[in-house]
Amino acid sequence: MTLAVPTDDFDCQSCGACCSYSEDWPRFSLETDEELDLIPAEYVSADLGGMRCEDNRCSALDGKLGIHVGCRIYAVRPIVCRTCMPGDDECLMARHKLSQKVLL
């Protein structure tokens, strides 16, 4: 079941939900060793399996959630980050989880 159809109505640079809802999400999967070597070590988790996160937020995410954010390593970000599209299932799941956290 699809939750949404990708749309241009989502502004990623004023959101950041996909980069701040789970420390388990930004995992490495299909990257080559050469691609992983381009990611600065300070942004890689201790187990080398994904991005380092602090309180569910990717350490490469810069800025304030919901206001203005950006990726410090955008050009070399992991594949999972490249495939998350505005308005897709992952986007909506992250936005929903983040909105629930804000409401608590």
φ, ψ (nearest 5 deg) of residue 100: -65, -40
Mean pLDDT by 10 residues, the chain (104 residues): 48 91 89 97 96 95 94 96 91 86 58
Q: According to the model, what pLDDT value does residue 10 have?
A: 81
| Global model pTM greater than 0.85 | no
> How many angstroms separate the CA atoms of 43 and 53, rounded?
8
Closest CA to 13 of 57, 58, 62, 69: 69
Q: According to the model, what pLDDT value does residue 103 have?
A: 54
φ, ψ (nearest 5 deg) of residue 25: -75, -50
